[in-house]
A and B are shown apart, each in its own frame.
Chain A
Amino acid sequence: MKNGTTNVLIVGVGGQGVLLASEILTEVAKESGLDAKKSEVHGMSQRGGIVTSHIRFGEEVMSPLIPSREANVILAFELAEALRWVGDLHPDGNIIINEQKIIPTITTTGKFFYPEKVVDKIKTLVPGAIVVDAYQIAMDLGNSRLVNTILLGVLSLSLEIEEETWLKVIERMAPKGTGELNKKAFMAGREVK
């Protein structure tokens, strides 16, 4: 990410706030004076589907999609989704995992099972993976919907972007009346070890 394009892949499940998080990150990149592109796949996200958002920024961004194994950072909002997408990570990249589990309806058929020991499996591939219980932090702050800004806070530590720029964009883009709370959540994310 020193030269060329920085690629951030955000993955999760419909309803988790992936799209707003990726919107904020793209605006942050723009505010930092960079070219930026964002492309989402939200096939039926409203209906429990997978959401992936590709965010690319740098001097000049070409394709709106991140090529495989070129994601510098993967920000996974959900445990099983982290495992699904970890293979797209650049060999020098890192993954940030929210420990939250969202178990799909399809498990009721008895033919599919939610994966076990996800963090262990990912750590064998990416020893430095960062694991965060963003849902718990959000509940401690009093609102489960803050998961996305907390995770952006964690992400911000791996990107060379001014804290101020983040806070300015979050203030502007957070749902009406939640600017302060979201900024607090972002800062809480930055304090995660």
Chain B
Amino acid sequence: MAMLLSGNQALARGMYEYGGEFASAYPGTPSTEILQVIAKFFKDDVYAEWAVNEKVALEVAVGASYGGARTLAAMKHVGLNVAADAFMTLSYTGVGAGLIIVSADDPSLHSSQNEQDNRYYGKMASVPVLEPSTSQEAKDFVKIGFEISEQFDTPVILRLTTRICHAKGLVEIGERKTVENKGFERNIEKYVMVPAYAAKRHKLVIERLEKLKEYAETSEINYIEWNDKKIGIITGAIAYQHAREAMPDASILKLGMGYPLPIKKIREFASKVDRLFVVEELEGFYEEIIAAEGIKVEGKKFFSNHMELNVDRVRKGFIEAGVLDSSVMPESVETESVLPRPPVLCSGCPHRGIMVALKKAGVYTNGDIGCYTLGALPPLNQIDSCLCMGASIGNAFGIERAGKTEKKAVALIGDSTFLHSGITALASVVYNGGTTTNIIVDNRITAMTGGQDNPSTSKTLMGDAVEPVNLAEICRAVGVKHVREVDPYDVDESYKVLKEELDREAVSVIITNRPCMLFPKKIKDEPYTVEADNCIACGACFNVGCPSISISEETNEKGRPKAVIDEYTCTGCTICAQVCPVDAIVKIES
């Protein structure tokens, strides 16, 4: 039977079918659904949990693998940076039962802060990388990944990209087959990486890579599709599909294993085609390795390492290379450029009140990764930096220490991000005598990725009820003496508290206390409306950037538009009513 599955769903299915027993992850687009699908459909056979960050997810997964369970740790590409410390040495210890690390890369940064190419992590750690090009392969490569992991005693990176994670295709469904769980076997020279043992293990890693290279030569997932031999294309991942569609007559060497490469097979392929190209997304990873072997190859000259590839871009590259006729590209049509639709904080978002308070206070805000990053866009314009998970607290302190900035620097971080990697930064600020003001916007959910639970909610991924962590107590425990709670829907109070803490010559934390209005349950109170006769068209409510407020066809005497509120989407949060100078925004009388 075939089902239409996304790559993420197919991969989760693979965990079920191929004897997976344990999965851990921190949510991150485009990888998030993998664990959600496991927890929803396969929870009787595969245990799944959210970790507080990717390093913890991998460390727990490593323990589960050492302990005998076929295991998966899933993360987005930047998540592997967080987990890299564990990952690099994991290459040395090897595994117990099969261990797959999913790296969900995001070419075109649909929802990420960079577009790094994680195939390089495979090379850096001498760890094999598998790259599926369809949903079917996303499932099949779980089986192959476990087998490689166990045969060669290595973790395996399963590198997906957004176009695999979130694209759907047909997948053949099978039954679950389990493997024996042998439990943990004590072996200190393998599992205790003190320098003397690690040095021995590094030697084994080098030998292992040689064996993996041999495996790559014979593996069925690296295969040649012979066609016209004038053009040969080496490609893998989703780029394979674009290349096949763009150049249906060319011969193709399809790499299911992106590292290490089957150099003998590549050399043989190269010798039989007149001109050899590599079509790969982002960096010229295959191309560098192939060129370093002295094989004549072309690639990045025609296919940029900036943003995702697609059929058009691949066609254009081959036209530029002079091997495809330009008539394959249809003429483009001139159309009017249409206004943008940038994402905005939701109607009724509790982050809005604190943004308005920050605006009034006139500070530099070091933001973090989460919904509140959207506060960087107009009309709020209240985020001045956003680097990576957990960076806000350290960034703000650094600006303070640099000593030249007159406005005070503030850190703004969510509950999940604070638990992910904000705690350590806060401890460091306290230790080093900082006086920064840090705001934890605690909406009690991981909202940006679609509402996942975390330790500040009260539920696990598998649905068990748990006691939420106490963020205020954590802050006090690392030494913050001034920890205050504030209702972000109360704009005046939020501003007052913020002002007091900004004036204080000591580090402080302000925690907002309203839940996300979308998760876990959609919050909808009585809507508000604009009394047009009283509205003076000052635009104060426009400046809070609420999607329920738009311009009315009615104008004031100077022709400026008055405001109108969409009562279907208004949640009655009252922030616009609070900023209205003439009380023209009122609750709809039911």
Q: List residues of A whose CB falls within 8 A of some B CB.
A: 13, 26-27, 30, 35-41, 43-44, 46-50, 61-65, 67-70, 80-81, 83-84, 86-87, 89-91, 103-109, 112-115, 121, 125
Contacts and interface: CB of A to CB of B under 8 A. Distances in A.
B336 A49 contact: no
A89 B330 CA distance: 10
A48 B545 CA distance: 12
Main secondary structure of the interface of A (DSSP, over half): mixed
Interface stretch (B147-155, B167-175, B404-412): B167-175
Given A36-B169, A47-B346, A106 B551 contact: no
B336 A39 contact: no
Contacts of A125: 333, 335
A30 B170 contact: yes
B166 interface: yes
A106 B335 contact: no
Interface residues of B, number: 50
Contacts of B334: 87
B360 interface: no
B439 interface: no
Contact of B343 (A47, A62, A83, A107): A47
A81 B340 CA distance: 10
B379 A108 contact: yes
A26 B6 CA distance: 12
Contacts of B338: 80-81, 83-84, 115
A37 B341 contact: no
B4 A106 contact: no
Interface string B343-382: 1111000000000000000000000000100100011000
A80 B2 CA distance: 37
A38 B167 contact: yes
Contacts, number: 145
Nearest to A40: B166
Given A64-B169, A64-B241, A115 B336 contact: yes
Given A26-B4, A67-B315, A106-B378, 10 more contacts: A35-B169, A39-B166, A44-B374, A47-B371, A63-B242, A80-B338, A104-B340, A106-B341, A107-B339, A109-B378
A36 B330 contact: no
Contacts of B473: none
B291 to A, nearest CB: 27
Contact of A87 (B244, B332, B344): B332
A46 to B, nearest CB: 7
Contacts of B4: 26-27, 30, 36, 38
Contacts of B378: 106, 109
Given A30-B170, A104-B341, A109 B335 contact: no
Contacts of A65: 163, 242, 310-311
Interface string B98-128: 0000000000001100000000000000000
Contacts of A44: 111, 343, 374
A36 B340 contact: no
A105 B349 CA distance: 15
A49 B377 CA distance: 13
Interface in B9-58: none
B170 A49 contact: no
B551 A112 contact: no
The 6 closest A-B pairs by CB, nearest first: A44-B343, A108-B542, A64-B167, A39-B167, A47-B343, A69-B330
Contact of A105 (B331, B371, B539, B550): B550
A63 B311 contact: yes
Contacts of B2: 30
Contacts of B539: 108
Contacts of A43: 110-111, 343
B167 A62 contact: no
A50 B110 CA distance: 12
B342 A49 contact: yes
A67 B163 contact: no
